[in-house]
Every structure is written in C-alpha cells, then in structure tokens.
Structure 1
Amino acid sequence: MSVVEMNVSGQTKARADAKPILELQGLSKSFGAINVVKDVSLDVWPGEFVSLLGPSGCGKTTTLRMIAGFIAPNEGRIVLGGKDITEVPSYRRDVGLLFQSYALFPHMTVRGNVGFGPKMRGETSGVIADKVRWALSLVKLEGYEDRRPNELSGGQQQRVAIARVLAGGASMLLLDEAFSNLDAKLRGRMQEEVRELQLRLGIATVLVTHDQEEALAMSDRIVIMNGGKVEQIGTPKQVYSAPSSMFVADFMGRCNRIEGTLRQDRRAKAWYLDCGPSGTIKLETIPHPDAREGEECPVFVRPEHLRLTQSLENHEGEGLKGRIERVVYLGSRSVAYVTLEGNIPLQVHLPNKPGISDEFSIDRPVVVVPLPGAVTPLPE
C-alpha cells in the first residue's frame, strides 16, 4: 500500500468522529456589478489535500484569498478549527500561505526568512533556532542557513518558502499556484516532495491551480469551479471518470463528443448508438431511465479509451469508420487526429511501445473502437 493510499484510508476512518478543519458556508464575493464567487460551500477535513481547479477568472484565487483573510466576503461564513474567522484579520488567522512568487525577503538569509514568523510573535532565540532547524530539515535544506534568496535555485527558494510557513506553526496550508514558476521537470519533483511532506505532517492543505494533471496527482479531492460557482466536488477519479456536467467532462483532460441516435436490441437487452455513415457503437448502460429508440443522444469518450484497427472484423460490426488526418508524437504516446465519416473530428491516444513501428499512416482508412464501458452519455 502506498503512502497516499494509507493517508486516504486513514482519513476515511477519521471522518466518522472528526469535524472539518475548514468550513466555507455560502461564500459570495462581488467587485462592483461583477459576481466573482457565488455561494461556494466546502468542508476540508484534517490532513486532507484539496485543490481548487478551474480556468482563469473562475473564482478560485478569490476564494483562497477570502480563506487567507485578504478579501472579505459579501456573504457567507468561514470557520477554521470550529471558530468563525470571517471577520478576523489575516495576521491572526491560523493559516500559512505559500505565494506563487515565494515572497522571500531578499535582504535576509535563509535562517532569517524561516525564523521571521516566530520572531514577530516574540518567541525566544532558542525556540526560533529549534523551529528553523526543524523546518529546514523537513525540506532538506540543512547547511543553507546563511545563504540569501539570490544564491538559491528556484526549487530551493520554494523549499525556503515552505519551511517559513511550517516554522510559523499554522494548522492549515494554502498554496496559490505554488508550482507555476518552475520548469516542467522541477515542477513535478516539487509536487511530489510537497505532497509527501503534507502527508507526513498531516496538515490540511488547499491548493489553487489551473493545471489538471497537478490537481489529479496531488489531491484527495478536487473542487472544479466555473464562473464563480462550484461545478463538482469529488476524488480525482470521480471528476475525471464521472463528470457531473459537460464543462467538467471537457475541462478534465481531452474529451471526444459524439452524437447519434439510440437503437435497442431487445433480444440482447443492449443499447447502441447509431452514428450514421461512420457506424455504430455499443452503450454498456442505458443512457437514462426514460430512454427510447430513435432518441438523439450525445456521448463522450476519452481519447485513451479508444483504439484503432484496420477493419470491423472481430468487433461484431461495432466501431466508427474514419481516416487519419495527422499523428503527433508526444513521447510516451502519440495522438492520432481522426475524421469520422460524416465529418466528425476525434482524437485517439496511442501508446508508444519499444519495437513497435508506426502501424497507422496519415490519410489511411481506420476503424475507431471504444474499450468496454468507455462510452458515457453526456450529463445534461
């Protein structure tokens, strides 16, 4: 069992008698006539990692800033550790905020930056030294105490910023696009390190991000926002595999939309989607309780849940005929852009395996076959 699995199973047991560490109750915020956040409610549990995910302008950063105390909500309440902190100033809230820019003091050493919070609270030099030593050991920066921020790499600067938050002793960690300034390889490594550190400390964390892969990789639950509202809250698997709206289905990775007409095989007790000249595909479940034959039905299917073949043989006639327009190589996979008969665009992800030559060439007829259970009726 992995560290993440142990953490999630532990949370499940704890929730039976635990209370949320953070409660957002009907938060709304307007700037003039513009409603930026609309009736957002959320419970964050002790030790949980929650991501606020959505496109630019969806309200996720404003929500985080309300939690931190930098912005006051027009409506709603914020409860932290059982106490209403809606009107408590930011410097008195028991939260640690890691900024996108790290916000380190350039004139201070690493020791000075990390010990700044305890020093401002009037703690003794011995206590400050202990906290600095402890925090730097957690982020693996022992020996860097006397360096200044401009003598550190981007990843080291971020570790210092994390250590500063931890030395402050906050009961909750807030991350505001904390990894966006790093290159792709360093970003992935820092995501893993922060997640492992968060699991070890058991500190509740809220991350704001627009990166779907980041949210999927780090989160216990994801809050998807759009237009200031919450579209869906769920585990990474839930929001990816069972989206509650077309927006969520399309936002969480690539999504192929296919429209067709329902057809029922009563003897086999099966439903099919007739896609006209391109062909027919089988639906594993009834689209909805009142489904009827001849009804128009849109469905979606992920590109990685499709495969290509040369013909319909051995597929019981189920598949969609088309032609490859282009293939893009992306290392671990290739993306085949297919146009189905009837001028329907489709993407298919093809795994790149050692020793396998290019099987499908451009402008060649192919058949697209969904994996069992891959075709899902679109939510209304």
Structure 2
Amino acid sequence: MDQRQVSTPHGPSIETFSAGLLAAFVGFASSFAVIIQGLTAVGASQAEAASGLMALSIAMGLCGILLSWQKRQPISIAWSTPGAALLAATAAPAGGFATSVGAFLVSGLLIVIAGLWKPLGRAVAAIPAPLANAMLAGVLLGLCLAPVKAVGQEPVYGLAIVLTWALVAKWKRLLAVPAAVLVTVGIIAATVDVSHLDMNALWPQPILIMPHFSLAAMIGIALPLFIVTMASQNIPGIAVLNVNGYRPDPGPLFSVTGIFSLLSAPFGGHAVNLAAITAALCAGPDAHPDPARRYWAAIVSGAFYVLFGLLAGAATAFISAAPPILIQAVAGLALLGALGAALLGAVAEAKEREAAIITFIVTASGLSFFGISGAFWGLLAGGAVHALTRWRQGKPS
C-alpha cells in the first residue's frame, strides 16, 4: 500500500513530536562517538572532526525534512555509522584529511549516480550479501573489541560504562547506548580538568577543506565507503519503509542523500543516507496511529538533528579531553548489534560461507597494500573465492 499523503498536511502531534525527538536523540547519542573516531582516524584534527560532525548532522536533518515534506512519508536520514566504522579501521591516507575529503566526494558522487543510473544500483545489489556482510563485520570487529579493552585498561570506568549499557538494555534496548554515553560524560566531567578546554572550540566553526584526490584513496576509502553505505544503510532503509507500508521510488532517495553527502563533504562529512533503526521509530505505529501523519516524526527528528549539529563543537572538544579507550568503548557498544547482524548474514548460507569467512578475515586483519585499506582487499579476496566456487560448481564432474 502506498502511504503517500496528498491531502492538506497536519501539524505535528504529541506522538509524532515524541517519536521524532527520541529518534534524533538515539541517532545522535548512539553513534556520534563513532563518527569522531572515524574522522580522526583518517587524518582530521579536532576542529575538522567537529566541523564534519556538524556538517553531517545538519545535512541529514535538512535532507530528512526535505524528503519527508516532499513525499509526505517518514523518510528518516542518518549519517553512515558503518561508513564511520570503516574509516576508524583505515589508516590516514597520504596527503592527510584533504585526501579523505576527496574520497568522500567521490563516494557521494557514486551514490548520486547509483540513484540515477540503474545499472550501477543493480551492480551494488548484485554483490553477494554474505560478502557485503562479512566485509562490514570485519570493519566493525576492531571497534567492538574496545569495550573489553576498556575494562582491561580502566577497570572501574570501563565496567561502569559496560554495566550501564547491559542493565539499561534489559529494560529498553534503544536507550542502552545513550545511557552509556551519559555515564561516560559523567566520568569525563569528574576526572578531566575541563578548564583547559579551548572555549572557542565549543562553538560551531565550519571548516572548508580543499579536497585532494588520489587513486589509493579512491580504491581504499571511496569505493568501500560507497558499498558499505549502500548495502548497510540505504537498502535496509528502503526495506524498513516497505515493511511499514510505504513504497517510495528508491532511486531519487538515494540520489538526494548523495547530493547532501556531496554538500557535507567539503566541511569534513563522510556520508549521509537513509536511516534504518531510527526510521523504524518514525515509520512505525508508535509514531502515530494514522500512517499518513507519521512523516511529521521524521520532520521533527530532522529539526533536532540540525540543533544537535550546532552542539558538535562542544561534543568533540569534550570527547577529545577524555581517555580515547573510553570513547572507543562507547562506540563499540553502539556497533555490537550491527556486528551481530553482519556476522549472521555472512554465514547464513552454507555455500557462500567460505568466501564470506575469507572476506571477514582479510578485512579484519587490517591488511594494507599501496595505501589501500583491508576492506577492499577483503572484498576482492572473498569475491575471488566466490567466483572460483561458482566455477567449480558449474564445471562437469
């Protein structure tokens, strides 16, 4: 059933406002540490990481408002959390963050093309799901080990964060990571001398970064970022909308998210895309009994994302004052669900299992040749095993 609303639009209700606020809070608080970790890993300074976080938050807020109002459907937009995890597992390229920004631009352009030119979209969809899931699992593994390492390095603080996450998860899983974030903020406030923070850094300061393009970054960052964003975010995002009765044309949505990714990239943003988890909050029955009015939840969510983006400088400065392992622990907790789903998807099909395991191992190893990250080599190695397996199955005995 197509839930597009064409009658006179209503304003937000209590239900849609609450759902939108919850979606924005969960979306921002659950993964902003992953974003900062990823941008820093590929060469961003504290100021550049804050600029990127701000650009992403504002871009996904405005994109969600635009698409939801235009389609009269709850089109929720998020930053690419798996993409940020990919960056966190990638070494800074030669040329520093400017080269990473060049890769972000190319990835955004590929997303635009995938929405406009169906053969590219079909090519991404043709990547065997077990291999795409295995690559994502390999990318996520390193960060997901961080909570265990935090308990080893900072037993009291690490256990406080992990136990908070575990206890809240038993009550309300969606709030588990935000609760862990609040505990981490409390630990930082109690143990770090925040008086030494640069007060100027607390205000939003967009930084325009002139991109630099290199072949190694195109292959090692842009291509895996494009694949992860499409396979792990955009396609599941469409599925969530479909499950809730909405049937938008995917191509234009992909292209618009690609355009907003292009707009955020010069300021340090890596990618925005269709949301999946927060999309369920805005598109489900809890957002409003009337499906035709749920788009207001996504609009409210977008407005709060813009507001949160203005706080990016303060969030980044505060996090930069903390022991890195604690921030990595929160990021790892935020990604455990994604790791579990990716591992399950990787090994679900017995005939694809060997290729998927090869993809996972090579990606997780951190292997790097010619400045190209392990995610590309993992997908390449798994693809080769997959092709060989298919060839042997087709060969007469």
TM-score, scaled relative to structure 2 = 0.21
Identify the structure with the greater strand proportion: 1
Larger radius of gyration: 1
Higher relative helix content: 2
- Which structure has more RCO (C-alpha within 8 Å, separation ≥ 6)? 2
